Structure 1
Amino acid sequence: MKKLKLANTSLFLQSILYIFLSSTINAAGIHLEAMQMPAWLERNGEVSALKPGLKLQAGDRIVTGGTGRVLLRIDESGFLKLGEDAHLDMDTLRSPVESDGALNAIFKVSRGALRFTAEDSVFRHKIILHIGNIMATIRGKNTDIWGSAKTKNDTLCLIEGEIAVQSGNDPEYIMDTKKSYYSVSREKHEHAVKSLPELKLTNWMSLTDLESGSGVLVVNGGWAINLMSLAGKMNAKNIMQSMTSAGYPVEIESIDVQGQGMYRLRINGFKSKDDASAFADNFEGVGLIERPWVAPL
């Protein structure tokens, strides 16, 4: 009887440990909190439209289009924003269980603008950012940086905190002066550190901010746009695949219209009615979409 009780206790403790470890991984993971379309996920050789709620994995690549922007949440203590026409690679991602209680992540931006913020005093994760030819190591809490990778030069701006930066074979440089930036010329292979005027910093930060009222999708967004309704499931599926390939997370919903089964194409999860309306207005008359309409979820 005692052995049975011990066995049951052991199983119970294992179950509790499993639940704890799983919740720890999920809590300290990196997920897509909000976005503007179009944007894509490249994973294991396959390309699909990005969708809020996605959890990132090692080897993932996020690509944004001409109006696309992305907000990634790093547990409850930090976030990463990606601007339009950008490429972000998740080179390494290890959970707290695998890496002494801290999340290890290496982000590589080969094109476009990025902003990284460790906004909480309890932030203790290990983050390395590659912005073009610049490598930045996050050294502490309450760190806020902005960077961009372009054809001719790469830039990293320290908004707040302290970071270590390095480019090529140059020695590591400690940045601890607020509103200063480190710039590297790809043509001349030279770098410079300068102070940044407030207006220029504001303009730079706007390149990575989501634009409320302009088609923002969020986790558990309460609005949708209906694009069209079709009688043929195969036609609906083909159009859906075409639109997801173009970076729009279109879904199919089975509906009944006056006793006839139909298939409706829609995009769910808009942050507000204004976001959904703005996106619907831009999509009106595009391809086979004649008059998309907004609906609450």
Structure 2
Amino acid sequence: MNKLLGLMLMLVVLSVQAEPDAQVQAVQMPAWLQRGESRVPMRVGSELRNGDTLITGANARIYVHTADGSTVKLGENATLKLEGLSQQRAEESLFSAVLNVAKGAFRFTTASLAKLRAREVTVKVAGATIGIRGTDVWGKDGSDQGVVCLIEGKISVTGSEINDFVMDQPLSVYKMPKDAAPLPVASVDPEQLKKWAAETEIAQPASQLGGVWKVDLLTLPNQSSALAAYDQWRAAGYDVRLLPVTNQDGWAYKLRIVQLTSRAEAQKLAEQLKGTLGAENPSVSR
């Protein structure tokens, strides 16, 4: 009995240790992962590491699940570098991370049950440093100003020109104009918050964990043309897959995007990409 209990406890420990610090949950392309000198399309399911940089293109989004049960959402034309990722397991599990937002919009949301977990998360955006202990916060480093909007919870803020302060009132906002002093914390207009929130929400077809639908973009007659198209789509920020298939002439190669959540989503993406990089007649299947 003691051996069985020990084995069960060991399996539990191993399962906890196996949980990645951060993992990509959904990608509305085009988006890239920069790791060292390597830049590749962002792939759903990828486990992220210290030093990784997440990059989104026009009308793109990325959702990342972190080990503490939170979700990081990144809007279009944004750059986010992950630093200080760690999970400490002493008397209490502690998740730590520094999210360095070089540009664009982000949202950090902690689910209700996950709020009980210990975390030390810091967000750097537009010259401000935000300390998070379990909350819902939206921010952006824009061309004209930086914004930190507390939707729920409590954060500590170190601004670029003032001392540390705490934001603990829901629906409050701190703005940092590029060419002027930061503005006092104020209430945010609900309609403005809706517009800001939409900047980090997936509203177009996206590859997601659990998705089983796919879009076949191209069918290429030979390996050389298939590899050329594969490289072209990947450079453009699309996580395409290359599949060899047989036909009456021998072998051909299909270029596809996978992990769409429904036929409707796949069909919509096929329409959006029609005419892009030679994809004249994309088709969908499961």
Query: Which residue is 1:251 aligned to?
Result: 241
Query: Which residue is 2:163 aligned to?
Result: 171
CA distance in 2 between counterparts of 1:78 and 1:188 reads 33
Matched, 1:208 2:200: yes
**Partner SS for 1:289:** coil
Matched, 1:29 2:21: yes
Deviations, residues 93-133 of structure 1 (Å, cap 9, x unaligned): 11234896211100011111111011233232211001121
Query: Which residue is 1:277 aligned to?
Result: 267
Task: Tell me how far 1:295 sits from its aligned partner.
Answer: 0.7
**Partner SS for 1:24:** helix
Query: Which residue is 1:260 aligned to?
Result: 250
Query: Which residue is 1:78 aligned to?
Result: 70
CA distance in 1 between counterparts of 2:268 and 2:242 reads 21
Matched, 1:224 2:214: yes
CA distance in 1 between counterparts of 2:235 and 2:8 reads 41
* Aligned AA (1:173): F
Query: Which residue is 1:160 aligned to?
Result: 152
Matched, 1:124 2:118: yes
Deviations, residues 244-267 of structure 1 (Å, cap 9, x unaligned): 111000111111123621111111
Task: Tell me how far 1:168 sits from its aligned partner.
Answer: 2.4
User: TM-score scaled to structure 2, two decimals?
Assistant: 0.91
Q: Which runs of 5+ in 2 are unaligned?
A: none
Query: Which residue is 1:38 aligned to?
Result: 30
* Aligned AA (1:154): G
Q: 8 Å contact 1:28–1:103 — kept in the other structure?
A: no
Query: Which residue is 2:232 aligned to?
Result: 242
Q: Which moved more, 1:120-129 or 1:36-45?
A: 120-129
Q: How does 1:69-108 map to 2 (within 5 A)?
A: 69-75=61-67, 77-97=69-89, 101-108=93-100
Task: Tell me how far 1:193 sits from its aligned partner.
Answer: 0.8
**Which has more radius of gyration?**
1
| RMSD after superposition | 2.2
Match of 1:56 among 15, 24, 48: 48
Match of 2:131 among 137, 145, 162: 137
**Partner SS for 1:269:** strand
Task: Tell me how far 1:234 sits from its aligned partner.
Answer: 2.0
CA distance in 2 between counterparts of 1:112 and 1:248 reads 20
Task: Tell me how far 1:276 sits from its aligned partner.
Answer: 1.1
Query: Which residue is 2:223 aligned to?
Result: 233
Q: Which moved more, 1:264-273 or 1:186-195?
A: 186-195
Cα distance change on mapping 1:96 and 1:21 into 2, 3 Å: farther
CA distance in 1 between counterparts of 2:283 and 2:108 reads 36
Q: Which runs of 5+ in 1 are unaligned?
A: 1-8
User: TM-score scaled to structure 1, two decimals?
Assistant: 0.88
Q: 8 Å contact 1:21–1:97 — kept in the other structure?
A: no
Q: 8 Å contact 1:232–1:263 — kept in the other structure?
A: yes
Query: Which residue is 1:66 aligned to?
Result: 58
CA distance in 2 between counterparts of 1:97 and 1:239 reads 46
CA distance in 1 between counterparts of 2:14 and 2:22 reads 14
Task: Tell me how far 1:218 sits from its aligned partner.
Answer: 0.3
| Matched residues, number | 281
CA distance in 2 between counterparts of 1:89 and 1:111 reads 10
Q: Which moved more, 1:257-266 or 1:274-283?
A: 257-266
Q: 8 Å contact 1:145–1:160 — kept in the other structure?
A: yes
Task: Tell me how far 1:76 sits from its aligned partner.
Answer: 6.4
Query: Which residue is 1:147 aligned to?
Result: 139
**Partner SS for 2:140:** strand
Query: Which residue is 1:5 aligned to?
Result: none
